[in-house]
Chain A
Amino acid sequence: MEKFTTHTGLVVPLDIANVDTDQIIPKQFLQKTERVGFGIHLFHDSRYLDHSGKEPNPEFVLNKPEYKGTSILLARENFGCGSSREHAPWALEEFGFKIVIAPSFADIFYGNCINIGLLPIKLSEDEIDQLFAQAQGAKLNLTVDLANNNVSFINESGAKVSFSFELGKFHKYCLEEGVDSVGWTLNKLETIEAFESKMPSWQ
């Protein structure tokens, strides 16, 4: 996993609540045994007018030229609900997103993002509204500083606006250091074996 420090990127506003992982990556694209090839199908049903994905839907926000090159997805509440498919964060990452910002995330999706190094940031409804207002008007370039747990941008009057966010200590450490979480736990095999030796026989 790549190390995450700071990132500045263009924000694309996806103004829909309860976006589920079926919308993020529909089931017909899950039939792969590799970890790649999902980005092209991200938000397929909204992004393309046809089944085969050849005709982009000009109305869909990701297809609008002003958001080309985006790396920060701004979303509404309960983002990533539904199926546990990690293919959803894989698709977002492969498309080019480094960060997803929303007022709330579904639990499994949130964990999946952390595990692949895609940073999920929770902000208050009010802060999210402010970001939507900015991103839907002029271009919003946002800077995410993981070490200091904040996001910031320069508003139209030239002032710096900054919001802080919370992230679990270990989650932050894993993202900052690009920790191989399996390897980390394998260093604790003795502790795990000690636990196993005390388990009841039916377990």
Chain B
Amino acid sequence: MTTSTAPQTLYEKLWQTHLVEEKAGETPLLYVDRHLIHEVTSPQAFANLRFHNRPVRHPERTIATMDHNISTRSIKIDAAGEGAANQLRALEKNCKDFGIELFGMGHKNQGIAHVMGPELGLTLPGTIIVCGDSHTATHGAFGALAFGIGTSEVEHVFATQTLRQTKAKTMKVEVKGNVGKGISAKDIILAIIGKTGSAGATGYVVEYCGEAIEALSMEERMTVCNMSIEFGAKAGLVAPDQTTFDYVEGREYAPKGDIWQQAVNDWKQLKSDDNAIFDSIITLEAKDIKAQVTWGTNPGQVTSIDGIVPSPDDFNDPTEKESCVNALAYMDLIAGTKITDISVNKVFIGSCTNSRIEDLRAAASVVKDYTAKGQSVQSSIDAIVVPGSYRVKAQAENEGLDKVFSDAGFEWRLPGCSMCLGMNDDVLEEGDRCASTSNRNFEGRQGRGSRTHLVSPEMAAAAAIAGHFVDLNK
């Protein structure tokens, strides 16, 4: 590890230890330790490699999975339609031709890239991890610098194992104190985005810290870092600590024996120095964070469960005012409506934000409370639960969570990205209103003309049964 006398932020340490070359007149060149790929953003990169007759320089540093457009009803490649099948077959051929390990349909390690990487120990502190997917920020939960890249960059990593990157500004987001009962990691990150706005961290790498962040489990930290892109950040980071090391130790691809000890010693240095200077600092009091529900068409348009749908008059900034007008029209909501009075007809529990075992346990626990009272999913509501990986699915089934969901009227599906982006057939219809544990409430994201409310797994589970959003603390 490089040491320096000037106090450094965690981001600067990660930058420094990966800087291959910094030359006047050139964008700095960084080393990439781990590259995750999937079927949608890689085929054109492989095609260019073939065109130039270039190999993948370190195939062992790349791992492939099928996640974005696969069916959640069948493990057959053809089940997701012709376009998807073409991409999936292309990924199989590309991985074979270039010597890349692939977790294909039904493989025990298959899953959403950002669920699969951490659970296999592919995601390590102190590394740079990239993937052609903006939610790569998830892996920052381990103190890895992780960010999404475009297909040209995927090609660049394939051929060189490096990337050219402009240094980002640094932002510290401190969440002081402890959150109240029933407040999830999703509520924390939505509250942060609500405070900063959906572009508040554009140009920054964000480090989350404070008591409330330190208290989170690794899966909860992943949920927080996952949505860094939703307020514009290039990446999100949490400094690794004992919670991190305990999670990583013993996982399939994690270092073992003496190398593990050396790794942990190095990782213990991975924190911002006491006097490190951040370009921007944002502070939240954890006790003020309530359960969150988005009402608009960007993730910054969010409020508390005990709140109301805002009016354009509540905003001073002309752009925010106009965005509010447009969002209310698209979402078919009237200003002043209580959030708890908003009814939904679709529920999606899944995505790289909220499809890990702890998410499913949290949702199942809410479901059990309702079923104990004889209540189940309303007949007018379609509710699906999509585990993030085959490992998560197996674990959930071991614990009987699949049965908790199915008995209450939820559909228990196969792993994949599913309705988060609706590239397969898990798509909302025009006019549908969905309580979704995913990360984007953009117009048309889950289906043309459909309306998305981003919430925690607990909130989504309750909405499926109550038919509307519920303040679970009441």
Give which listed residue, B132, B134, B152, B160, contacts A115 with CB less than 8 A: B152
Which residue of chain B has its CB nearest to the CB of A85?
Answer: B41
* CB atoms of B134 and A83 under 8 A apart: yes
How far, in whole Å, are A173 and B27 apart by their CA atoms in the complex?
11
How far, in whole Å, are A59 and B25 apart by their CA atoms in the complex?
45
* CB atoms of B90 and A203 under 8 A apart: no
How far, in whole Å, are A173 and B298 apart by their CA atoms in the complex?
35
How far, in whole Å, are A87 and B126 apart by their CA atoms in the complex?
31
* CB atoms of B44 and A78 under 8 A apart: no
B-chain residues with CB within 8 Å of residue A116 when the two chains form the complex? 152
* CB atoms of B124 and A202 under 8 A apart: yes
Contact of B20 with A by CB under 8 A: yes
Q: How many Å from the CB of A118 to the closest CB on chain B?
A: 11
- Taken residue by residue from 299 to 320, chain B's Cβ proximity to chain A (1 for < 8 Å, 0 otherwise) reads as 0000000000000000000010
Contact of A157 with B by CB under 8 A: no
* CB atoms of A82 and B134 under 8 A apart: yes
Known: A17-B319, A84-B134. A33 touches B150 (CB 8 A): no
Known: A26-B448, A185-B156, A185-B159. A17 touches B150 (CB 8 A): no
A-chain residues with CB within 8 Å of residue B164 when the two chains form the complex? 170, 181, 185
Known: A22-B442, A26-B444, A185-B29. A202 touches B21 (CB 8 A): no
Q: How many Å from the CB of A95 to the closest CB on chain B?
A: 18
* CB atoms of A81 and B232 under 8 A apart: yes
Contact of B198 with A by CB under 8 A: yes
* CB atoms of B444 and A23 under 8 A apart: yes
How far, in whole Å, are A115 and B154 apart by their CA atoms in the complex?
11
* CB atoms of B159 and A182 under 8 A apart: yes
Contact of A34 with B by CB under 8 A: yes
Q: How many residues of A contact B (CB 8 A)?
A: 56
User: Which A155-203 residues have a C-beta within 8 angstroms of B?
Assistant: 168-171, 173, 181-183, 185-186, 188-189, 191-192, 195-196, 199-203
User: Which A50-78 residues have a C-beta within 8 angstroms of B?
Assistant: 51, 76-78
* CB atoms of B160 and A186 under 8 A apart: yes
How far, in whole Å, are A192 and B168 apart by their CA atoms in the complex?
22
Contact of B329 with A by CB under 8 A: no
A-chain residues with CB within 8 Å of residue B187 when the two chains form the complex? none
Contact of B266 with A by CB under 8 A: yes
* CB atoms of A78 and B423 under 8 A apart: no
**Interface-centre pick from B40, B150, B151, B199 (highest chain A CB count, 10 A):** B150
Q: How many Å from the CB of B112 to the closest CB on chain A?
A: 14
A-chain residues with CB within 8 Å of residue B90 when the two chains form the complex? 33
* CB atoms of A182 and B444 under 8 A apart: no
How far, in whole Å, are A20 and B86 apart by their CA atoms in the complex?
26
A-chain residues with CB within 8 Å of residue B202 when the two chains form the complex? 78, 81, 104, 106-107
Known: A84-B148, A86-B151. A31 touches B423 (CB 8 A): yes
Q: How many Å from the CB of B459 to the closest CB on chain A?
A: 23
Contact of A111 with B by CB under 8 A: yes
Q: How many residues of B contact A (CB 8 A)?
A: 72
* CB atoms of A192 and B161 under 8 A apart: yes
Known: A170-B25, A186-B160. A78 touches B198 (CB 8 A): yes
How far, in whole Å, are A82 and B440 apart by their CA atoms in the complex?
8
* CB atoms of B44 and A33 under 8 A apart: yes
Q: How many Å from the CB of A110 to the closest CB on chain B?
A: 9
Give which listed residue, B149, B263, B423, B440, contacts A84 with CB less than 8 A: B149
Known: A27-B422, A104-B199. A203 touches B126 (CB 8 A): yes
Which residue of chain A has its CB nearest to the CB of B158?
Answer: A182
* CB atoms of A111 and B262 under 8 A apart: no
Q: How many Å from the CB of A170 to the closest CB on chain B?
A: 4
* CB atoms of A168 and B27 under 8 A apart: yes
Q: How many Å from the CB of A142 to the closest CB on chain B?
A: 23
A-chain residues with CB within 8 Å of residue B43 when the two chains form the complex? 32-34
Which residue of chain A has its CB nearest to the CB of B134?
Answer: A84
Q: How many Å from the CB of A160 to the closest CB on chain B?
A: 30
Q: How many Å from the CB of A151 to the closest CB on chain B?
A: 22
Q: How many Å from the CB of A171 to the closest CB on chain B?
A: 7
A-chain residues with CB within 8 Å of residue B127 when the two chains form the complex? 203
Which residue of chain A has its CB nearest to the CB of B19?
Answer: A195
User: Which B71-127 residues have a C-beta within 8 angstroms of A?
Assistant: 81, 83-84, 86-87, 90, 124, 126-127
Which residue of chain B has its CB nearest to the CB of A116?
Answer: B152
Q: How many Å from the CB of B23 to the closest CB on chain A?
A: 9
B-chain residues with CB within 8 Å of residue A83 when the two chains form the complex? 133-134, 421, 440
Q: How many Å from the CB of B146 to the closest CB on chain A?
A: 12
Known: A81-B199, A115-B150, A203-B127. A195 touches B31 (CB 8 A): yes
Q: How many Å from the CB of A152 to the closest CB on chain B?
A: 26
Contact of A108 with B by CB under 8 A: yes
Which residue of chain B has its CB nearest to the CB of A189?
Answer: B160
* CB atoms of A32 and B83 under 8 A apart: yes
* CB atoms of A23 and B161 under 8 A apart: no
* CB atoms of B124 and A107 under 8 A apart: no
How far, in whole Å, are A195 and B423 apart by their CA atoms in the complex?
40
A-chain residues with CB within 8 Å of residue B150 when the two chains form the complex? 84-86, 89, 108, 111-112, 115
How far, in whole Å, are A106 and B299 apart by their CA atoms in the complex?
15
* CB atoms of A169 and B25 under 8 A apart: yes
A-chain residues with CB within 8 Å of residue B83 when the two chains form the complex? 31-32
A-chain residues with CB within 8 Å of residue B162 when the two chains form the complex? 185, 192
A-chain residues with CB within 8 Å of residue B203 when the two chains form the complex? 107
Contact of A145 with B by CB under 8 A: no
User: Which B30-79 residues have a C-beta within 8 angstroms of A?
Assistant: 31, 33, 40-41, 43-44, 47-48, 52, 54, 69
The contact sample of 5 A-B pairs, CB cut-off 8 A, is A22-B440, A22-B442, A33-B86, A81-B232, A188-B29
* 20 extra A-B contacts, CB within 8 A, seeds A31-B423, A33-B90, A84-B132: A17-B322, A20-B440, A20-B442, A23-B444, A26-B448, A30-B40, A84-B148, A86-B150, A107-B203, A107-B232, A108-B150, A108-B229, A112-B150, A116-B152, A185-B162, A185-B164, A188-B29, A192-B162, A200-B1, A202-B262
Among all A-B residue pairs, the 7 with the closest Cβ atoms: A31-B83, A86-B150, A112-B150, A202-B263, A84-B148, A115-B152, A33-B43
